[in-house]
A and B are shown apart, each in its own frame.
Chain A
Amino acid sequence: MSDAEQPTDDHVPGDDEFEPIQVFPEAEEMDLRPGADNCYKCSTCDTNCPVAEVDDEFPGPKFQGPEQWRLKRQDDHDIDDSVMKCSNCMRCDSACPSEVPLSQMHNTARAEYVEENMSKFSREYWRNRMLSNYRQLAPLAATFPRTANFVMGLSVTKWMGEKVLGIAGDRDFPEFAKTTFREWWAKRGGNATSRERAQEARAERGAEVQNEDKRIAYFHGCYSNYNTTEVGKALVRVFEHFGYEVMIPEQACSGTPMFANGMLDDARRAAETNVRELSAAIEDGADIIASCTSCSMSLRQEYPELFDFDGTEDVAENTWEAVEYLRVHEDLEGELEGTQVDDTNFAYHAPCHSRNQGLDGQTMEVMSAIDGVEAEDVGDSCSGISGTYGWKEENYETSMKIGEEMFDHMEDAEATTGLTECPTCSMQMEHGTGYEIQHTLQVLEAALVGTELEEA
């Protein structure tokens, strides 16, 4: 019998558009060479790269993206190791005047590098794995927050962190909250309480009390749950104030730190959970709201670029950043008019990932509606921390160099409170200036709901 006589064909004639991703669901095997078609070599991406500007070893996004991909062949697996220097700030994405999928190329190349070239026994691998899986460690710390905060603050722990794991010893580990956001939420009565409060608010506003449309599912991410729970609480209160019923679906890490470390398998597992849970929420009529701009970025852009679960696109299309949502669905600025807050001077930093979503000017515009508030934009530079990037011992110095411009501008501003939407930018702002840093939602909460209101 010749080969030809074997029943070899098992294809189903295609009726939909060709999707190479469906052949290889593994992102590290995705062929992104066609993405190089859009590059016309202008190097605008390079001029936006905060890392290439200070780090001699990093050759910039154009090389890491379209050039490296174009020079690559299916069988080549020696991704240049400098791809690990990329901080995944994604500024190159919004820089490129010609639609090159730069961060997607970087994420995929990085994943391939980690898969093929990085020793799974190396300190670097395990350090990166640990940093990108913060979520796995955080629950432990949150169970014994006092101990964790104490231990993390010990100089011997920092020394151990730097020497053994390569985590920058100069950084202060974030404090863990004594009660996590989800614990607070459960104690508060969960969704049922929220529905009640939303209905009360609607009644007060003279709106239809029963309204299935005014429902959001909050993607709080790791940091609002374990560390800055006040941001999560502010979101709940502000949305309830506008008559929205809040749901808190089950969720895993958004994946942002995993993309940045080339841990795509970890990211895929997390994304699968998130897409499943958030799709269910969308089925229930909710829109997805994030308070962290990297989380919303991940759900909106990176998921559809890297994964292909049922509902990935649906989740991307229904995810909003919190303030953006209120601005488009409510008369937020009208509501803010005539309100006041105690702390009126802010130095605002727009996170790179918020720029990518067209949200760079939003906070400044919203703040100007509150009486007496003076917010000053500290410029369009990158804070330099980029999630886990600045936590690594070998990047600490470049991270602080990148942040220098922002620190200078913060110090020049007439404010001693910083304002931003990204938890790690917030850490960097605090680390570089010693200022207290707030999230925009906290200011909105103070203006619209008041801060005294402490709930059980």
Chain B
Amino acid sequence: MAIEDDVLVIGGGLAGATAALTAAEEGVQVRLVTHKQSTLRHASGLIDVLGYTPAGEGPIVDPFEALADLPEGHPYERVGTEAVREALSFFDEIAGDAYSGGHTASNALVPTHGGTVKPTARYPVSTAAGLASVPEDTLLVGFETLTDFDAPLAASHLEAAGAPFSARGVTLTFPGIVRDDAKINRYAHLLDHEETVQTGAGETSAREALAATVDAHLKDESRVGFPAILGDDHAADVRADLEDALGVDVFEVPMGPPSLPGMRLEDMLYDALGDAGVRVTSGVPVIDYETDGNGAIEHVVVDRHGQEVPYRAEQYVLATGGLVGKGVRSERERVFEPIFDCHIPHAAERYDWFVEDVFGEQPYARFGLVPDRELRPLGEDDDPEFSNLRAVGGVLGGYDYAAEKSGAGVSLATGYVAGERAGTEASR
């Protein structure tokens, strides 16, 4: 017997989770199957909508205004501006107090761990006190064992970027870290669980020790920025305690992989999935499918370590990600979508997949499926590949999320639209 549900979402990142949550709103039974962990853990946790136009103009102040000018085929153009707004509202509801930025249509400029600033539409509350558009002097704190964030360099860089405040950086020793190769979750755990640590002043809790270490270097700055390691499950408490002890605002600078803000976002989404009654199956891949002979998918096949188990639903949503999430794969001769072999347009010659400037207009960054306005992936003949399959997020092509800073927004908007359609159709 197949495992049966109404809507089956394949892929457990931001797009897949959004699709599952919106579909569940329609009162149908939804299952999300996710093989490995998603690229949410790579991502900074910021919800970008559009920071630069495809032509590279920006930073854009109002991303929604700029959406109307996007070229045909761009995922935002496919779903329409209104859907993007609705998707953001949907996200705001799920996120509640955990995210800020919903009070305005304008982008925020957030300092990055490389010392630049970047435009984004929603940001975790842990980042809120650090906005680069706020003219408040800033102390950045780095740690000698955390090589990804050099605070003095980032501070000089922010000043070079014209940020309207003075920034200073210090590099300190993180109390309680005993090996130079401790992982970020070790730092977070120390703070989360208030572990007892040894400092020059004797035994104290990790939060107190960190506050004391930083306090000694704080001058007249009104806010202190840390790399994003300030707790995982109890991040808000950690930050509040540090703010109390230091008497200034505390914020996190989003980091590259592995990213705690990304993990917190993931936890938030999976809690929401649980609350919405979405069934989650993880750790196993979808490897194949059967059609009903009439252009619809009858069931997909999940490989559970050798056992091929059929999963059946009325509607399917493909949210397997791009080249990084491995929803798009490549070989020397071709670029392909591995589960349904949906059409991915690409140059035949692999030397045409990229350009010489690393930050140039990179064709490979746009690899992905081409959807119709229903988000059904289209075949080479421009007809939908299957009548009951929609594709969302990174597996879609036609946009360069890295250059545009549009990754999370596209995932939300397409997930929202596809989830709603799939849910509606399945409930018929």
A and B touch in the complex (CB under 8 A): yes
Which residues of A have CB within 8 Å of B258? 42-44, 46-47
B402 sits at the interface (CB 8 A): no
User: Are A358's CB and B284's CB within 8 A?
Assistant: yes
User: Are A358's CB and B186's CB within 8 A?
Assistant: no
A404 sits at the interface (CB 8 A): yes
User: Are A43's CB and B257's CB within 8 A?
Assistant: yes
Taken together as a complex, chains A and B put the C-alpha atoms of A222 and B253 apart, in Å, by 50
A425 sits at the interface (CB 8 A): no
User: Are B189's CB and A54's CB within 8 A?
Assistant: yes
Which residues of B have CB within 8 Å of A358? 33, 281-284, 302, 304-305
User: Are A357's CB and B305's CB within 8 A?
Assistant: yes
B36 sits at the interface (CB 8 A): yes
Which residues of B have CB within 8 Å of A171? none
Q: Give residues 28-68 of A contacting B (CB, 8 Å).
A: 40-44, 46-49, 52-54, 56-57, 59-60, 63
Question: Which of B39, B184, B304, B306 is the most central at the interface, judged by chain A CB atoms within 10 Å of its CB?
Answer: B306
Which residues of B have CB within 8 Å of A355? 282-283
A95 sits at the interface (CB 8 A): yes
Taken together as a complex, chains A and B put the C-alpha atoms of A405 and B305 apart, in Å, by 28
A338 sits at the interface (CB 8 A): no
Taken together as a complex, chains A and B put the C-alpha atoms of A320 and B319 apart, in Å, by 28
Q: Which of A44, A95, A300 contacts B42 (CB 8 A)?
A: A44
A94 sits at the interface (CB 8 A): yes
Shortest distance in angstroms between B61's beta carbon and chain A's nearest beta carbon? 32
List residues of chain B with CB under 8 Å of any chain A CB. 1, 3, 33, 36-39, 41-42, 177-179, 181-186, 188-189, 193, 233, 257-258, 263, 270, 274, 279-284, 302, 304-307, 309-310, 324-326
Which residues of B have CB within 8 Å of A47? 41, 183-185, 258, 263
Q: Which of B1, B42, B179, B281 contacts A329 (CB 8 A)?
A: B1
Can you offer 25 A-B residue contacts whose CB atoms are under 8 A? A44-B36, A44-B257, A44-B258, A46-B185, A47-B183, A49-B185, A52-B183, A53-B183, A53-B186, A53-B188, A54-B186, A56-B177, A59-B181, A94-B283, A97-B325, A300-B306, A300-B307, A316-B306, A317-B307, A320-B307, A327-B3, A358-B33, A358-B302, A358-B305, A404-B193
Taken together as a complex, chains A and B put the C-alpha atoms of A358 and B305 apart, in Å, by 9
Shortest distance in angstroms between B169's beta carbon and chain A's nearest beta carbon? 24
Closest A-B pairs by Cβ, 5 of them: A358-B284, A94-B283, A300-B305, A43-B258, A97-B36
User: Are B41's CB and A42's CB within 8 A?
Assistant: yes
Which residues of B have CB within 8 Å of A275? none
Taken together as a complex, chains A and B put the C-alpha atoms of A193 and B285 apart, in Å, by 39
User: Are B36's CB and A95's CB within 8 A?
Assistant: yes
Taken together as a complex, chains A and B put the C-alpha atoms of A320 and B306 apart, in Å, by 9
User: Are B284's CB and A357's CB within 8 A?
Assistant: yes
List residues of chain A with CB under 8 Å of any chain B CB. 40-44, 46-49, 52-54, 56-57, 59-60, 63, 94-99, 297, 300-301, 316-320, 324, 327-331, 355-362, 365, 377, 380, 401, 404-405
Q: Which of B1, B33, B183, B188 contacts A328 (CB 8 A)?
A: B1
Task: Across the interface, name the chain A residue whose C-beta is closest to B262.
Answer: A47
User: Are B283's CB and A97's CB within 8 A?
Assistant: no
> Other CB < 8 Å A-B pairs besides A42-B324, A94-B283, A316-B306, 17 of them?
A44-B36, A46-B183, A47-B184, A47-B263, A48-B37, A54-B189, A56-B178, A60-B183, A97-B324, A324-B307, A357-B283, A358-B33, A360-B282, A362-B281, A365-B279, A380-B270, A404-B193
Which residues of A have CB within 8 Å of B41? 42, 44, 47
User: Are B37's CB and A95's CB within 8 A?
Assistant: yes
Taken together as a complex, chains A and B put the C-alpha atoms of A221 and B145 apart, in Å, by 45
User: Are B281's CB and A361's CB within 8 A?
Assistant: yes
Taken together as a complex, chains A and B put the C-alpha atoms of A331 and B285 apart, in Å, by 23
User: Are B284's CB and A97's CB within 8 A?
Assistant: no
Shortest distance in angstroms between A44's beta carbon and chain B's nearest beta carbon? 5
Taken together as a complex, chains A and B put the C-alpha atoms of A53 and B188 apart, in Å, by 8
Which residues of A have CB within 8 Å of B283? 94, 355-358, 360
Taken together as a complex, chains A and B put the C-alpha atoms of A52 and B178 apart, in Å, by 12
Which residues of B have CB within 8 Å of A316? 305-306
Which residues of B have CB within 8 Å of A95? 36-37
